[in-house]
Amino acid sequence: MTIGLQLFTLFDAPDLRQARRVLSVQPHYDDNDIAAGGTLAALADAGADLIYLTVTDDLVGVVDPHLPDDQAAAQLKHEQMAAARIIGIRQQEWLGFPDAGDYNYFELRRQVIRAIRLYRPDFLFTCDPWLPYEAHRDHIQTGLAVAEASYLHAMPRLKSDPLVDAAYQPYELAGVAFYFSQAANTSVDIGSTFERKHQAVACYQAQFTTAEMARLLERLEAAEKKAGAEAGFVVGERFKVLRPAQLHLDTNAWKS
């Protein structure tokens, strides 16, 4: 069923309007909403199930250096759940890898494959690991793990979780939407959800001072207006949307 989103796409990108279940994998607790909150809220309004998988514990980014870890973790989760209610997130999982720390890429990929097999999304959202000059390894590792998992999840000899693997039946994953991308091929009109997105982002107080949050919201609005103007909308969000098959040995994927 096609849902009521306006899109502007280049080439033959998978149609985000067809999304009925979305698994959105983020390095940190606020990335999904900052980059794609308007689109995800619109999908939720159209009846899609939204599941967030957060990779790190986010403790390094907490601005108060004296706040004990347990209190900081509780505040982070409280803020994330408040934002989720605004966006319309059905379910959340937290992997708890150390923020900006030492964790194994293949364990992360295994966890993403487990989540794909468990939830059977038709679209994945994550950050673009090929963003030029991206220095944050949490973003690079998360994006790469999702990209690899998007086509490896159907290979039964690659194990994730015994119970999940035993119940898994291969299926077609329609596409991966990369946010924070310099090579976007899809723009989404977020006019109907723009205010909700900004309300959700404003929930994330633990990692921003009041002045920093104000600047973030200003930068977001400027970027959303620019993305909208380029596609004929008032405000928009931009994504690189690819089919999983394009993420291996496709020499044209970068320009699709």
State pLDDT tens for residues 85-122.
999 999 999 999 999 999 999 999 999 999 999 999 99
pLDDT for 1 beyond 50: no
| DSSP states along 208-223 | --HHHHHHHHHHHHHH
Those residues whose C-beta lies under 8 Å from the C-beta of residue 210, and which sit 6 or more positions away, are none
For domain 7-255, is the CATH number 3.40.50.620? no
Q: Identify the pLDDT of residue 29.
A: 98
Contact 129, 180 (CB under 8 A): no
Which residues face 239 on adjacent strands? 186
Whether pTM > 0.85 for this model: the answer is yes
